[in-house]
């Protein structure tokens, strides 16, 4: 039997339990205002309420996940969507035309771990009497001109489980006090086991089948995918135990090296602004675009690469016809794995599978950029 499917979520090596917890944690962990929740969307709900934004309006990107929009609405705020530029940055002229007496905040997404110019947008918000919400859910450990992404906002959130192999866990910081989550936490044994099985499945053929069964996701259901869940829930006990043991300082260089490798192999299929590795970016996934999205996803799955149908369904409140560029990204973007648990042979498998799926069957995978070897 071949080894298991390679997924976008970071895996969890069993040896993590034997590692010593790191005393120095990266931003925002350890900050006096930092509160840990189970999901980042909880922090958005609490933060919008704490800052008194509701019942005002938030300027929100049309290209979004959807959970953040649901969180804003649950908190009592309304959303006015903006298209932004071709590189997914906000457009000043568009934003200023959208301002109204009800506008209270700008929502800025550090898309896929690629940081926006948060300092510029924080200054823009100050000039207009607005608050800045930095969405670093996919961008924990990314930096902007040497400063941590998320350190410029009045409210910032981070999804820790998108960067390290914990089953859940998110951080939120806010200029207003946030409510603490309920003490304790769920065990999340099944979710933790899936991350372990994913790691083992990459290496042990006998475990690959079990890992694949455990990895299977339920069909996407937009009625529930955006719900914030229990607003009082904190991180699971597994996340609290493992997070300090997974804070490897090499995560940043590994993800960046993996991204560079895939860029060298598959870069012709990568959309801007992700077609070059921006300074300070710590990539969450590796995006490629295709006009044959269902077929590409099926081809990758056949090659045991578990890609993600990235942000394919917008929030129901978005007038999709007004934002064709966002609709095009939703219809065409597929996310490949790039996390720090991948080995060179894994990257070779991903690149070869992507080239076959995207129609470059004759292209040889021999990129010049190769990540340094490391032990797990």
pLDDT tens string, the chain, 376 residues long: the values are 457 889 999 999 999 999 999 989 999 999 999 999 999 999 999 999 999 999 999 999 999 999 999 999 999 999 999 999 999 999 999 999 999 999 999 999 999 999 999 999 999 999 999 999 999 999 999 999 999 999 999 999 999 999 999 999 999 999 999 999 998 888 899 999 999 998 998 888 777 676 666 666 555 565 568 988 999 999 999 999 999 999 999 999 999 999 999 999 999 999 999 999 999 999 999 999 999 999 999 999 999 999 999 999 999 999 999 999 999 999 999 999 999 999 999 999 999 999 999 997 444 444 445 555 444 3
User: HEC states along 56-86?
Assistant: CEEEEECCCCCHHHHHHHHCCCEEEEECCCC
- Residue 294 CA to its chain's centroid (Å): 22
CA–CA distance, 210 with 194 (Å, rounded to integer): 9
Other Cβ atoms less than 10 A from the Cβ of 26: the count is 16
19 conformational bin, left if phi > 0, alpha if psi -120 to 50, beta if neither? beta
Return the structure tokens found at 312.
Answer: 């394919």
CB 188 within 8 A of CB 237: yes
Q: Mind listing the domains of the chain with CATH numbers?
A: 251-358 (3.90.1150.10)
Q: Which residues are CB-contacts of 356 (< 8 A; sequence separation ≥ 6)?
A: 299, 303
Q: Give the predicted TM-score (pTM) of the model.
A: 0.93
């Amino acid at each position: 039997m071949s080894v298991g499917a390679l997924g976008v979520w970071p895996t969890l090596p069993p040896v993590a339990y034997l590692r010593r917890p790191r005393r120095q944690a990266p931003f925002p962990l350890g900050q006096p205002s930092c509160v840990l929740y189970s999901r980042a969307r909880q922090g958005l709900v609490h933060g919008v309420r704490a800052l008194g934004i509701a019942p005002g309006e938030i300027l929100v990107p049309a290209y979004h996940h959807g959970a953040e929009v649901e969180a804003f609405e649950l908190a009592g705020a309304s959303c006015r969507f903006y298209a932004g530029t071709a590189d997914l940055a906000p457009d000043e002229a568009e934003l200023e035309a959208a301002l109204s007496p009800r506008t209270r905040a700008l929502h800025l997404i550090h898309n896929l771990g690629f940081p926006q110019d948060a300092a510029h947008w924080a200054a823009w918000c100050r000039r207009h009497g607005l608050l800045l919400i930095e969405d670093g859910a996919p961008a924990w450990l990314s930096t902007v001109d040497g400063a941590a992404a998320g350190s410029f906002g009045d409210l910032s959130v981070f999804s820790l489980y998108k960067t390290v192999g914990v089953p859940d866990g998110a951080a939120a910081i806010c200029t207003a006090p946030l409510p603490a989550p309920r003490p304790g936490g769920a065990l999340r044994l099944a979710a933790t086991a899936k991350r372990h099985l994913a790691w083992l499945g990459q290496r042990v053929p006998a475990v690959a089948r079990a890992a694949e069964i455990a990895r299977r996701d339920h069909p996407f259901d937009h009625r529930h995918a955006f719900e914030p869940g229990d607003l009082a829930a904190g991180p699971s006990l597994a996340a609290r135990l493992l997070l300090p043991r997974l804070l490897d300082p090499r995560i940043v260089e590994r993800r960046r090296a993996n991204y560079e490798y895939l860029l060298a192999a598959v870069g012709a299929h990568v959309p801007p602004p992700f077609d070059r590795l921006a300074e300070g970016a710590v990539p969450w996934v590796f995006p490629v675009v295709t006009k044959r999205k269902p077929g590409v996803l099926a081809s990758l799955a056949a090659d045991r690469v578990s890609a993600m149908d990235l942000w394919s369904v917008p929030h129901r409140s978005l007038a999709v016809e007004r934002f064709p560029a966002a609709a095009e990204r939703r219809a065409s973007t597929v996310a490949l794995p790039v996390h720090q648990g991948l080995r060179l042979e894994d990257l070779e498998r991903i690149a070869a599978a992507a080239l076959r799926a995207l129609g470059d069957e004759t292209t040889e995978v021999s990129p010049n950029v190769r990540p340094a070897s490391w032990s797990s």
